[in-house]
């Protein structure tokens, strides 16, 4: 480190420590008189007789009091507990040593044994890439899932939503992408998951092969709302770190809905008015700030997949509607298809990739359009076909749809252990469905 840089670092260090005292605790919120701090700064609350400290973040002010949201349970916090300002926002330790590990929202490994040598401090709340210097998406990224690579081709740096109700196969689809994708590193954020499901996902769905090039960030449903939000922020920061090192990164977050719910809890606790279906305005400010951080920059790419829970399969609920407007496409998992044993249960007629046409050949696009046309035509006449009311020869398009529907659905089905390269998917698809040369 040269002398000028060293002097600048020294100049940023405050010679003072700022303290305050807890004045009251109401629900999830801690009020303290002091210390001097800014919104987003981290404070340490000294509690108990054994010198235990609870980290908390400044989330607002009420008259002269500081409003704090804790990263841990409120146990042992008492009136008069000492509050120390750390005079900085949250930073986590990040480096290549994290690959293959499972960490919490603060970047701490769950096994507690891995030495954090060679890791560097990295802010969890960074601005998105400059829109004028962000490269365009021009290169496809093979995911190993035929339905996505074929009909909804994803580009490096694209952001997609995976919309589904509970139990329709979101976690399984994420695991398939993790194991088969052409990306070099996976970052998976499990936000608000049941504690039981975390190990199940890692061992059963992901496996040792998938974990080898993956960092998993876990914030379970029993943790405070701030930990769930920071889990999403930390996973995004880890992805940004590897993107800046020149890697192609897959970021998968399950689920952004639970991040929104955690922000709603915080917003209501600090007195924000509930607006759309109980969600506070800060929820709809957080979503674009979080989702826009992924994508391309001059060094590498973050291709992001955000799962969205849709209550009662309602695609127009507030969070789903807001997320759909921000992202570059969406995949809708259909419960009826899942009930019929069609996996992955991606509904081709309700899903879209907004950049696919810029990435694929004319032959690929024609084959994808042909499959969608077959499925749409069959869907329109399905009731008549099923009850035997449709007479063969009445409509050429319907005749073809009836004949080729099994081929189309068969192409889109894929078992969990099957994997296909992007070239294999395109080759099979164009051989079956591209009729450009027959006209």
Same domain, 32 and 153: no
Rounded to the nearest 5 degrees, what angle is found at the Cα of 238, between the Cα atoms of 296 and 139? 25
Does the N-terminal peptide bond of residue 255 adopt cis geometry, omega within 30 degrees of 0?
yes
d(CA 308, CA 254): 8
CATH number, residue 205? 3.40.50.12240
The per-residue pLDDT for 439 is 39
The per-residue pLDDT for 304 is 97
Same domain, 218 and 322: yes
Rounded to the nearest 5 degrees, what angle is found at the Cα of 327, between the Cα atoms of 321 and 39? 85
Please give the tally of structural domains in the chain: 3
CB 153 within 8 A of CB 360: yes
d(CA 39, CA 31): 14
Last residue of a domain, one of 342, 357, 372: 357
CB atoms within 10 A of CB 5: 9
Same domain, 246 and 381: no
d(CA 13, CA 84): 16
Same domain, 202 and 337: yes
Same domain, 208 and 301: yes
Same domain, 43 and 171: no
Asked whether residue 264 is assigned to any structural domain, the reply reads: yes
d(CA 187, CA 178): 9
CATH number, residue 380? 1.20.1270.330
Last residue of a domain, one of 357, 372, 391: 357
d(CA 417, CA 401): 29
Asked whether residue 2 is assigned to any structural domain, the reply reads: no
Helical packing angle, 422-433 and 396-412, nearest 10°: 160
Asked whether residue 8 is assigned to any structural domain, the reply reads: no
Same domain, 55 and 135: no
Same domain, 248 and 333: yes
- The bridge status of strand 329-332 relative to strand 352-353 is antiparallel
Nearest to 180 by CA among 208, 158, 201, 209: 209
Asked whether residue 6 is assigned to any structural domain, the reply reads: no
Half-sphere exposure of residue 416, counting CA atoms within 13 Å on the CB side?
Answer: 13
For residue 308, what are the domain limits?
A: 92-357
Asked whether residue 46 is assigned to any structural domain, the reply reads: yes
Asked whether residue 5 is assigned to any structural domain, the reply reads: no
Asked whether residue 3 is assigned to any structural domain, the reply reads: no
Assigned token pair, 434: 């591209």
Same domain, 118 and 265: yes
Give the pLDDT of the chain (439 residues) as one tens digit per residue. 567 666 665 555 566 678 899 999 988 899 999 899 999 999 999 987 777 899 999 998 988 899 999 998 888 888 899 999 998 899 999 999 899 999 999 998 887 655 566 788 899 999 998 989 999 999 999 999 999 999 999 999 999 999 988 788 888 899 999 999 999 999 999 999 888 888 888 888 888 888 899 999 999 999 999 999 999 999 999 999 999 999 999 999 998 999 999 999 999 988 899 888 889 999 999 999 999 999 999 999 999 999 998 876 667 789 999 999 999 999 999 988 999 889 999 999 999 999 999 999 999 999 999 999 999 999 998 888 888 887 888 889 899 999 999 999 999 999 988 989 999 999 999 999 987 645 3
Nearest to 69 by CA among 251, 231, 258, 265: 265
**Residue 406 exposed, middle or buried by CB count within 10 Å (0-12, 13-18, 19+):** exposed
The per-residue pLDDT for 434 is 82
Same domain, 353 and 398: no
Same domain, 245 and 393: no
Asked whether residue 7 is assigned to any structural domain, the reply reads: no
Does the N-terminal peptide bond of residue 51 adopt cis geometry, omega within 30 degrees of 0?
no
Same domain, 429 and 285: no
**Residue 160 exposed, middle or buried by CB count within 10 Å (0-12, 13-18, 19+):** buried
- The bridge status of strand 295-296 relative to strand 159-164 is unpaired
Last residue of a domain, one of 297, 325, 357: 357
CATH number, residue 23? 2.40.10.170
Assigned token pair, 305: 């997949």
């Amino acid at each position: 480190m040269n002398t000028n840089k060293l002097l600048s670092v020294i100049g940023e260090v405050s010679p003072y420590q700022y303290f305050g005292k807890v004045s009251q605790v109401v629900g999830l919120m801690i009020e303290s008189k002091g210390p001097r701090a800014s919104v987003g700064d981290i404070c340490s609350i000294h509690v108990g007789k054994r010198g235990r400290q609870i980290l908390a973040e400044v989330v607002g002010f009420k008259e002269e009091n500081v409003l704090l949201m804790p990263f841990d349970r409120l146990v042992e916090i008492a009136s008069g507990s000492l509050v120390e300002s750390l005079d900085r926002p949250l930073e986590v330790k990040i480096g290549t040593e994290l690959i293959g590990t499972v960490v919490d929202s603060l970047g701490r490994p769950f096994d507690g044994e891995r030495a954090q040598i060679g890791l560097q401090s990295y802010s969890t709340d960074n601005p998105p890439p400059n829109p004028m210097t962000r490269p365009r998406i021009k290169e496809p990224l093979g995911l190993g899932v035929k339905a996505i690579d074929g009909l909804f081709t994803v580009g490096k740096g694209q952001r997609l939503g995976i919309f589904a109700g509970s139990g329709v196969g979101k976690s399984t689809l994420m695991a398939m992408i993790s194991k088969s994708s052409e990306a070099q590193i996976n970052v998976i954020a499990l936000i608000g998951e049941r504690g039981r499901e975390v190990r199940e996902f890692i061992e059963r769905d992901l496996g040792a092969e998938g974990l080898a090039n993956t960092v998993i960030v876990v914030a379970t449903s029993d943790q405070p709302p701030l930990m769930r939000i920071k889990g999403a922020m930390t996973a995004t920061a880890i992805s940004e770190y590897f993107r800046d090192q020149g890697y192609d990164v897959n970021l998968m977050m399950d689920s952004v809905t639970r991040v929104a719910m955690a922000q709603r809890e915080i917003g209501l606790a600090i007195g924000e008015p509930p607006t759309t279906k109980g969600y506070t305005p800060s929820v709809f400010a957080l979503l674009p700030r979080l989702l826009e951080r992924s994508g391309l920059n001059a060094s590498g790419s973050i291709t992001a997949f955000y799962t969205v829970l849709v209550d009662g399969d309602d695609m127009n609920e507030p969070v789903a509607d807001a997320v759909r407007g921000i992202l570059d496409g969406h995949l809708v998992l259909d419960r009826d298809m899942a009930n019929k044993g069609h996996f992955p249960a991606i509904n081709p007629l309700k899903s879209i990739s907004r950049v696919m046409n810029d990435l694929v050949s004319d032959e690929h696009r024609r084959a994808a359009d042909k499959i969608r046309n077959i499925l749409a035509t069959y869907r329109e006449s399905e009731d008549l076909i099923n009850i035997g009311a449709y007479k063969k020869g009445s409509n050429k398009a319907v005749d073809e749809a009836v004949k080729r529907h099994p081929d189309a659905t068969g192409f889109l089905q894929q078992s969990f252990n099957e994997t296909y390269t992007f070239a294999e998917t395109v080759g099979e698809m164009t051989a079956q469905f591209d009729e450009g040369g027959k006209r």
